[in-house]
Chains A and B, each alone.
Chain A
């Protein structure tokens, strides 16, 4: 693995860390936080800082260092967590996100000086918008404090010391003895080894001793070089990986050992004489006979816990290569996406081959042999498992939304509460990657158009704070993502008037509520009185719909005037397979995605009507729906021309209902989608291709695109054939 690849992993971890921060901030803002929340924030920022230093992203590291300083003061209790302070650390997080993006080359370097100044002021207890939270130094200065008072960090330690040791020793595993020698360059890039010790103390560690054997006298000391080592004891129940993880980003020369103390020494009772083991660093050369008045117990236990110090502590790199660590790490592995895609492709080929085999066997009257159904079952399971590897939680996308909301609050002056549901719902990686932009549009739309100003809300008896709900759920093999607001709802009279004014619909058009709602997806439609940065250019919602359609999805709207609107995106779980109806048109076979199909029928003569020279119309329970002869319009020879001899398939498209006329239906099944773009080139009107059981290629119809095109300009098969030939 080269440095670039490792750096990519770092960025992925940054992404995960930033996601964890967003969740933690949501808790902080709602007042649902505990020590662990701020710890989570601290750890994420600390990891980002460590990685940034390792890869030379100095500005990112510099910023995260100052950010981390404030967070550390919060978690050690020096700075009380007030609302202005929460606002500051959330705002600083946005700058941190920008720094990470800049480090990835995805944006310019953010101007961070103002934020750094605010962080520096906060570190001194001066927080904007809040009473000065003076660090509790004065109080300490007034009252001589001979011994460190118990503070949060050490609560666990003191609690542990107060517990009777003997009963625990009977059942608990032996304590961990951890020795750390941070390495001479441990202070480079603003790193602070004490933070790792503090992290350990939060896990219940107590420091047994400092190793000062390498520490020179003051005149020979280089102030920027680390000379110290530390020995700590941690509860035996702590996970060893958690201990080692604290040093993930430590200096490469950091020497770390994690070993179990022997069972006998856990209770502070008579300890065996440590034989042949160096008496640990309990007696450093510093001549300082001052007795330690506090905490005698742990110190007394030092020689009793002989910390089987290994002759030469392995470096972190060596530790990482040890089999035990490798075994633990094997629980999750990072896989190159290309390899995964190759696997998905191969499984697709296997599915196709299996279908071919099934067809061949059934031709030879062996279609019902049990091995074939076993193979079918296994293939399907393999396919599902492979797709599951590509599945990612929607959280990856949802975690970006709080920032968007924060920015919108500032831009619009509205107050918004975001509620998120179902963020662990999993969906194919491709969908996760491509849903971000349309979702951003919908969120912006909900805040800018949907929610009223606090004053307007109060005037109609609503809470001044608007609510935007973002949810994801699996429904019937699809994922449904909903963006809802409790704002003013769609004013249909206004939407219709605007559509008439823009020439989108005729003045006398009779539209249902649903059709009026759908007008907001028309290109160039916008009812915003003022064009803002957020919305109002009329280029948002039509793009949203196009993007969703490109993912094989559709958008539904539900709205009630004065109560709010809800936009539902229904998307396939994966783009690699789809359920389709296999139909015959002339000498060709096509696949119609099942998501579009409403019903199929063989019409009676009186159900199809011809009006002038236009396309025939099918009477679907009182509504006349245009019939498109697929064969004729795609230029396929030999197709049935008379509707009464054909099969009519009623489909739902974004242009409303339409009827596709085909010769016959062969089958309904899941097909593996082969990309035309990847294997040939994109063709308007075709969503892809698949390979059938008999080895022939069948094209998958893009129903929305075809019907839209036929309705718009009545282009016929000639144009389609030109597309194919071009």
Chain B
């Protein structure tokens, strides 16, 4: 499974394209696998897109994985209280 690499800047303007990319991924029937290693900025708009995608994946019984979050992304996830977004490393 190839992980979709998240854009470095996940600000409000990046939220709509991210939502669309995730919808496309879900529509393709593939599991959602994301790599957060390149992210340098993350805002609430993108975080809630990710949380919503995770919920949607659960509702259709598709796997959702966010791996390898950068320090910037990980800190914002913790700050937003969304630690469950991140898949623990094996």
Binary contact track B24-41/A, C-beta < 8 Å → 1, others 0: 001000000000011111
B44 touches A182 (CB 8 A): yes
**A145 B69 Cβ-Cβ under 8 A:** yes
Contact of A288 among B11, B58, B78, B80 (CB under 8 A): B58
Interface assignment of A146: CB less than 8 Å from any CB of chain B: yes
Residue of A nearest to B18 (CB): A223
Which segment, of A147-155, A355-363, A542-550, faces chain B? A147-155
Is the beta-carbon distance between B83 and A295 smaller than 8 angstroms?
yes
Q: Which of B8, B26, B55, B81 contacts A137 (CB 8 A)?
A: B8
A215 to B19, CA, bound (A): 13
Given A194-B76, A215-B51, the answer on whether A287 and B59 have CB atoms closer than 8 Å is yes
CA distance A76 to B65 in the complex (A): 26
Query: Which residues of the partner chain B approach A290 to less than 8 Å between Cβ atoms?
Result: 84, 86-88
> Which residues from chain B contact A461 at a C-beta distance below 8 Å?
none
B45 contacts which chain A residues (CB < 8 A)?
A: 187, 223-224, 226
Mask of A115-159 contacts with B, CB within 8 angstroms, 1/0: 000000001100000000001110011001111110101100000
Q: Pick the contact of A226: B42, B48, B59 (CB < 8 A).
A: B48
Give the most central of B19, B64, B80: most A CB within 10 Å: B80
Min C-beta distance of B18 to chain A, whole Å: 8
Q: Are the CB atoms of A218 and B88 closer together than 8 Å?
A: no
A526 at the interface (CB under 8 A from B): no
Q: Which of B43, B72, B89 contacts A135 (CB 8 A)?
A: B72
Residues of chain A contacted by B64 (CB below 8 angstroms): 288
Q: Is there a chain B Cβ closer than 8 Å to A221's Cβ?
A: yes
Chain A positions 37-90 with a Cβ under 8 Å from a chain B Cβ = 69, 73, 76, 78
A60 to B45, CA, bound (A): 23
Cβ contact within 8 Å between A141 and B23? no
B74 and A145 form a contact (CB under 8 A) = yes
A288 touching B12, Cβ below 8 Å: no
User: With an 8 A cutoff between CB atoms, is A4 at the interface?
Assistant: no
Which of these, A193, A201, A207, A212, contacts B51 with CB under 8 Å? A212
Closest beta carbon of chain B to A553's beta carbon, Å: 52
CB distance from B73 to the nearest CB of A (A): 9
Q: Given A146-B88, A290-B88: A218 and B19 within 8 A (CB)?
A: yes
How far apart are the CA atoms of A151 and B74 in the complex, in Å?
11
Q: How far is the CA of A137 from the CA of B39 in the complex (A)?
A: 7
Distance of A187 Cα from B81 Cα, bound (Å): 19
Q: How far is the CA of A294 from the CA of B78 in the complex (A)?
A: 10
Q: Are B19 and A137 in contact (CB under 8 A)?
A: no
Pair B56/A144 contact, Cβ less than 8 Å: no
Query: Do the beta carbons of B48 and A227 come within 8 Å of each other?
Result: yes
A73 CA to B23 CA, complexed, in Å: 30
Is A208's CB within 8 Å of the partner chain B?
yes
Which of B68, B74, B75 is close to A141, meaning CB atoms less than 8 Å apart? B68
CB neighbours of A292 from chain B (8 A): 83-84
List residues of A (148-207) whose CB comes within 8 Å of B's CBs: 148-149, 151, 153-154, 182, 186-187, 190, 192-194, 197-198, 201, 207
The reply to whether B59 and A217 form a contact with Cβ atoms under 8 Å apart is yes
Residues of B with C-beta under 8 A to A194: 42-44, 47, 76, 79-80
Q: How far is the CA of A708 from the CA of B48 in the complex (A)?
A: 75
Cα A212 to Cα B79 in complex, Å, equals: 14
Contact status A135-B44, CB under 8 Å: no
Q: Does A293 contact B (CB under 8 A)?
A: yes
Q: Is the CB of A218 within 8 A of B23?
A: yes
Q: Which of A124, A146, A286 contacts B58 (CB 8 A)?
A: A286
* Complex CA distance for A180 and B1, rounded to whole angstroms: 38
> In the complex, which residue of chain B has the Cβ closest to the Cβ of A125?
B40
A212 to B86, CA, bound (A): 16
CB-CB under 8 A from B68, the residues of chain A are 140-141, 144-145
CB distance from A294 to the nearest CB of B (A): 7
In the complex the two chains form, is B78's CB within 8 Å of A216's CB?
no
* Cα distance A228–B51 in the bound complex, in angstroms: 10
B41 near A73: Cβ-Cβ < 8 Å: yes
Q: Report the minimal beta-carbon distance from A120 to chain B, rounded to whole angstroms.
A: 10
A219 within 8 A of B: yes
A209 within 8 A of B: yes
How far apart sit A151 and B55, CA to CA, in the bound complex (Å)? Answer: 29
Q: Would you give the shortest CB distance from B74 to chain A, in whole angstroms?
A: 4
Residues of A within 8 A of B86 (CB): 146, 290
Kindly provide the distance from the CB of B19 to the nearest chain A CB, expressed in whole angstroms.
Answer: 5
Q: Nearest Cβ distance between residue B50 and chain A, in whole angstroms?
A: 9
Q: How far is the CA of A295 from the CA of B16 in the complex (A)?
A: 31
A198 touches B56 (CB 8 A): no
CB distance from A518 to the nearest CB of B (A): 59
Q: Name the distance in Å between B90's Cβ and chain A's nearest Cβ.
A: 9
The 8 closest A-B pairs by CB, nearest first: A148-B74, A210-B81, A146-B89, A141-B37, A223-B15, A287-B58, A223-B16, A286-B55
Sample 28 A-B pairs with CB under 8 A, ordered by A number. Answer: A78-B40, A78-B72, A123-B40, A137-B8, A140-B70, A141-B70, A146-B86, A147-B74, A149-B71, A151-B71, A153-B79, A182-B44, A187-B12, A187-B43, A187-B45, A197-B79, A215-B51, A215-B52, A217-B52, A217-B59, A221-B49, A224-B16, A228-B47, A230-B81, A286-B84, A288-B84, A290-B88, A292-B84
17 additional A-B pairs beyond A73-B41, A148-B69, A187-B44, beta carbons within 8 Å, are A124-B8, A135-B72, A137-B38, A137-B70, A140-B70, A141-B37, A144-B68, A145-B89, A146-B86, A146-B89, A147-B88, A208-B81, A218-B26, A221-B52, A226-B48, A228-B80, A286-B84
List residues of chain A with CB under 8 Å of any chain B CB: 69, 73, 76, 78, 123-124, 135-137, 140-141, 144-149, 151, 153-154, 182, 186-187, 190, 192-194, 197-198, 201, 207-210, 212, 215-219, 221, 223-224, 226-228, 230-231, 285-288, 290-295, 299
